[in-house]
Structures are given as C-alpha cells and as structure tokens.
C-alpha cells in the first residue's frame, strides 16, 4: 500500500482518497434527500386539517437548546479531526466522545419534543402538516442516531487500533457526516421552526 507522506494520514492511500470522494458524492445525494423533504414540507406546511399549525406547537427554548448542542458538537468533531492530525490520540478520543454525548443530548431533547407534540395533538397521523414535519425532523434525527452508533464503533476502533490510515480515514468521513447533519439542522432551524414561529 503506497503512502503519500505529504498528505494528512486520512488521505494518504489511494483507497482513502476514493473513500473520501465517495462520501462527498453521497452527501450530494443526501442534499437531494433533504431537499425533497423540504419541498414537501413547504407544500404541505399550511395543510393542517383539523390539527395544529407549526406556530401553535413550536417552542423556542427546546429549539435553541437543540441548536446549541448540535452546533457545539460540530465544533468538537472539528477539534477531534484536528487532534487526530497532530497525532494526539487522547485528545482525539476525548473530543470524539464529547461530540457523541452532545449528539445524544440533542436526541434526548428531540425525543422530548416529539412526545410533547403528540400530547398536544400533533401526531404522525393527525394531518399532512404533522406527517411531513415529523418525517423531516425524524429523518434528521434518525441520521443522528445512526451517527451515534457509527461514531461509537469508530471510537472503539481508534482505542484498540490507534491512529492508523484506516481509523483516520473513517474518523474524517464521520466528521463530514456530522458537519453535514449540522448543515441540515441549520435549514430545519431556519425554515421549519423560525419560519413557523415568525
């Protein structure tokens, strides 16, 4: 396996470069996935049937908490990659675990949010609006959940196998995924919640 020592470790082999480019292309597909959800959301936003509208059920506090949690976790995964690049395994693992814990906290708040919505009469089956709202938020949340497990697996591999060409490649790709989820959240935050509460 030929190593290119002029590059950071996660780019240093041919397969590593392929993996990273492949993941970026996958993110292009994910842009379209969420674009479709947003297109459907804007189309169905006012179709509330007999159920509540966004303005009636959204709360600024949980939304702000979720946003700060996710934004900070995006910062900490950046610190993870940085620590990885300077070869500091302990710092890398610490920041990685903090990232996952912040993600877990985000999920906790979101699950509480969903519980609240169902209780005030905005369930999945209530109306077209609630269906697309919960599906869009839920798709993002499912991606975060998947990320938590995936991140955990990588943490355990870094712990056992150290900072290698494979583990750096996987960690970097995970960071791309995690940042992307934050980008999607920015749009959810702005055009679902804030727009709905204007």
Partner 1 sequence: MKELFPFKQVMGFVFSLVLTVVAVSVYFFDLSFALGMTILLVTAFIQAALQLVVFMHAGETEDKGAIYANLYYGIIIALVTVFGTLLAMIWGYM
Partner 2 sequence: MEFFDRFAIPHPSPLIYASMVAIGLTVIAIIAGLTYFKKWGYLWREWLTTVDHKRIGIMYLLSALLMLFRGGADAIMMRAQLSVPENTLLDAQHYNEIFTTHGVVMIIFMAMPFIMALMNFVVPLQIGARDVAFPRLNALSFWLFFMGAMLFNISFVIGGSPDAGWTSYFPLAGNELSTSVGTNYYMIAIQIAGLGTLMTGINFIVTIFKMRAPGMTLMKMPMFTWSALITNIIIVFAFPVLTVALAMGTMDRLFGTHFFATTNGGMDMLWANLFWVWGHPEVYILILPAFGIYSEVISAFARRNLYGYKSMVGSMVIISLLSFFVWVHHFFTMGQGALTNSIFSITTMAIAVPTGIKIFNWLFTLWKGKIEVTVPMLYSLGFIPIFTIGGVTGVMLGMSAADYQYHNTMFLVAHFHLVIIPGVVFAMIAGLTYWWPKMFGFMLNERIGKWTFWFIAIGTCVAFFPMFISGLDGQARRMYTYSESTGFGIWNMLSFFGAILLAIGFALIVYNIYYSIRYASRDIGDDPWNARSLEWATHNPVPDYNFAITPEVSSSEGLWDAKKRGHTLFKGPYKEIHMPSNSGVPFIMSAIFFVFGFAMIFSMWIVAIISAIGIFACMAHRSFEQDHGYHISVDEIKQTEAKFGGAKE
Per CB under 8 A, the list member of 19, 53, 75, 118 interacting with partner 1 is: 75
**Residue of 68, 59, 57, 54 lying closest to 192 (CA atoms):** 54
Alpha-helical regions (H) of 13-127: 14-44, 54-57, 60-85, 89-119
Per CB under 8 A, the list member of 126, 168, 169, 175 interacting with partner 2 is: 126
CA separation for the pair 68, 56 (Å, rounded) = 23
Q: Please, what's the b/e burial string for 50-78 (b: 16 or more CB within 10 A of its CB; e: otherwise)?
A: ebbbbeebbeeeebebbbebbebbbebbe
Instruction: Assess 16 for contact with partner 1 (CB under 8 A).
Output: no
**Residue of 174, 148, 144, 147 lying closest to 84 (CA atoms):** 174
| Candidate segments 75-83, 121-129, 139-147, 149-157, binder of partner 1 by CB under 8 A | 75-83
Q: Of partner 1, partner 2, none, which one does residue 74 interact with (CB within 5 to 8 Å by kind)?
A: partner 1
Instruction: Assess 111 for contact with partner 1 (CB under 8 A).
Output: no
Chain contacts with partner 1 (rule: CB under 8 A): 7, 11, 17, 20-21, 24-25, 27-28, 31-32, 35-36, 38-40, 42-43, 60, 64, 67-68, 71-72, 74-75, 78-79, 82-83, 86, 88, 91, 175-176, 179-180, 182-183, 186-187, 189-191, 194-195, 197-198
């Amino acid at each position: 396996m030929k190593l290119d020592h002029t590059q950071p470790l996660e780019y240093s082999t041919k397969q590593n470069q392929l993996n990273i480019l492949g993941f970026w292309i996958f993110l292009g597909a994910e842009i379209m996935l969420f674009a479709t959800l947003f297109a459907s959301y804007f189309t169905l936003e006012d179709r509330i049937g007999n159920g509540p509208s966004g303005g009636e059920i959204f709360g600024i506090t949980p939304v702000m908490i979720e946003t700060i949690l996710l934004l900070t976790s995006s910062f900490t995964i950046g610190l993870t990659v940085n620590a990885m690049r300077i070869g500091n395994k302990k710092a890398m693992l610490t920041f990685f675990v903090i990232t996952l814990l912040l993600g877990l906290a985000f999920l906790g708040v979101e699950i509480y949010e969903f519980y609240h919505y169902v209780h005030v009469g905005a369930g999945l089956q209530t109306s077209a609006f609630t269906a697309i709202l919960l599906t869009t938020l839920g798709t993002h949340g499912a991606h975060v959940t998947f990320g938590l497990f995936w991140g955990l697996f990588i943490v355990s591999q870094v712990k056992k196998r150290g900072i290698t060409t494979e583990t750096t490649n996987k960690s970097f790709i995970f960071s791309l995924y995690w940042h992307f989820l934050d980008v999607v959240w920015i749009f959810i935050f702005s055009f679902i919640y804030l727009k709905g509460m204007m």
